[in-house]
Amino acid sequence: MENFILRMPAKMIFGPGEVAKVGEEASVYGNKVMLVTGKNSVRKTGLLDRVTKFLTDSRLEYVHFDRIEPNPRATTVDEAGKIAREENCELVLGVGGGSAMDASKAIAAVAHSGYPIWEHVYNDDRDRIRPIEDALPIILVPTLAATSSESNRGGVITNRETNEKVPFFAEPLFPKVSIIDPELTLTVGRETTIDGAMDIISHVIESYLTGPDNTPLQDRFTEGVIRTVIENLEKVLDNPGDIEARTNLSWCSTIALLGPVNLGRPGPFPLHSVEHVISGHYDISHGKGLAIMFPALMRLTYKDRLEKYASLAKNIFFVETGKMSLDEAGLEFIERFEAWMKKVGMFARLSEVGINAESFETMASDTIRVYGFGKDHIAGYKPLYKQDLMRMFELAK
């Protein structure tokens, strides 16, 4: 295991009904709140009325920015950051999925710095990144079980002029408070619930497959999260009102990028790099892009980590791997995982979202340009070169 420092949000409040504490928690950080949401769901579900009442009950003023789109754009964030500055908002409250939460972090940063968010994000020349030195205090209320944005200090922003989608990270972006109320996820539709489940699994499985070997506890955590997502996603799809199953998905989502699962087991996230390029170009949902590319990545690279794949077969699908070769056990996991994806409606192909072979070359080059940081490959367990990425797109077409 590698040495690590564990940093987390200052406070996390978890459980059905806990959103009622949002006014009380926000009032600790100021009197004027920049409330950040997506365009539709908070109104449709009635959550907006509840949250604004909690704020006014705590005698807080608020400015509502309600134009965050899925895969939030740099221009939208800059506009909202300007409003937060002009209105002298003292904190940012993000209510929504990963898009609203990531945008809230970005808005908190630009409201403080006054620079466009694009100057703060990762780019192909690390020297050009303007560090985020401080930010307005951030409070997050996730309404989807998916990204784990509520647990970490990063976000992902899209530039529609260049079709680049890239992350930003900074210590001041850890939420002061995250309130994870699984009841808020009861209204999430079937497809978005499935996309979220894939995202949770990918957050724990990427470094399981690309990180070092000597991390048994992190590996058992990973297998536990995946097994819990599998069991509870099926329950939610059978009965969308199953609050216990929704609560388990929310906890898996929150813990995935909180620290204990991946810390000490650093490893690149090649699936995320490829997916961010896909959704940067085609504006599809993050979870859908991951689901499309994950089987292809597994088939391309499983021979590099046969022990890990065999362990997944045994611990996720309870396969009796004792009499199998490692190769057979590894393939068994891939086949069972794909069969499960098909069963729950998660399995998909690039062609189903309108992406065809003509784009593969551009997407492969962009993945290396944006996520290779000056090298001719992106990092995986072994480096992934342009021809490997082309092969992955072929497998997923």
Enclosing H/E stretch for 263: none
Which has the closest alpha carbon to 179: 317, 50, 318? 50
Report the residue from 192, 210, 273, 321 that binds ligand NZQ according to the rule CB under 6 A: 192
Kindly write down the DSSP assignment for every residue of 365-379, as one continuous string: HHHHHHHSTTSSEE-
Minimum CB separation of residue 44 from ligand NZQ in Å reads: 7
Residue 332 Cβ vs ligand NZQ, minimum distance, rounded to whole Å: 28
Assess contact for 303 and 396: CB atoms under 8 A. Answer: no
Element (H, E) at 91: strand 91-96
- Within residues 64-83, the interface with ligand NZQ by CB under 6 A covers 70-71
- Take residue 223 and report the two structure tokens written for it: 């297998």
- Pick one of 99, 104, 222, 273: the residue that binds ligand NZQ (CB under 6 A): 99
Task: Report, in this order, helix, strand and coil percent for the chain, each rounded to 5.
Answer: 55, 15, 30
Instruction: Considering only residues 12 through 51, tell me which ones interact with ligand NZQ, judged by CB under 6 A.
Output: 38-42, 45
Q: Which is nearer to ligand NZQ, 47 or 331 (CB)?
A: 47
146 part of the interface to ligand NZQ, by CB under 6 A: yes
Q: How far is the CB of 326 from ligand NZQ (least distance, A)?
A: 30
- The binding site for Zn ion (CB under 5 A) comprises 199
Q: How far is the CB of 199 from Zn ion (least distance, A)?
A: 4
Site track 250-269 with ligand NZQ (rule: CB under 6 A), x = hit:
-------x------------
Question: Whose Cβ is closer to Zn ion: residue 270's or residue 330's?
Answer: 270
Q: Are 228 and 248 in contact, with CB atoms under 8 Å apart?
A: yes
Residue pointed to by tokens 């391309």: 300
Please give the C-alpha separations between residue 367 and each of 123, 157, 350, 391, in angstroms, as whole numbers.
12, 15, 16, 13
Closer CB to ligand NZQ, residue 73 or residue 377?
A: 73
Minimum distance of Zn ion from residue 198's CB (angstroms):
8
Q: Of ligand NZQ, Zn ion, none, which one does residue 148 interact with (CB within 5 to 8 Å by kind)? A: ligand NZQ
Do residues 361 and 387 touch, judged by C-beta distance below 8 A?
A: no
Nearest residue (CB) to ligand NZQ, 52 versus 143: 143
Distance CA 367, CA 359 (A): 12
Q: Which of 177, 180, 184, 378 binds ligand NZQ (CB under 6 A)?
A: 184
Our CB check for ligand NZQ shows the closer of 67 and 82 to be: 67
Cβ–Cβ under 8 Å, residues 272 and 219? no
Nearer to ligand NZQ, 262 or 321 (CB): 262
Nearest to 209 by CA among 194, 223, 189: 223
Q: Is 390 helix (H, G, I), strand (E, B) or coil?
A: helix
Asked if 97 touches ligand NZQ (CB under 6 A), the answer is yes
d(C-alpha 12, C-alpha 188), whole Å: 22
Work out which of 104, 149, 193, 321 binds ligand NZQ, going by CB under 6 A: 149
- Would you tell me how many other CB atoms lie within 10 Å of the CB of residue 56? 12
Residues that bind ligand NZQ (CB under 6 A): 38-42, 45, 70-71, 96-100, 102, 143-144, 146-149, 152, 154-156, 184-185, 187-188, 192, 196, 199, 257, 272, 286-287
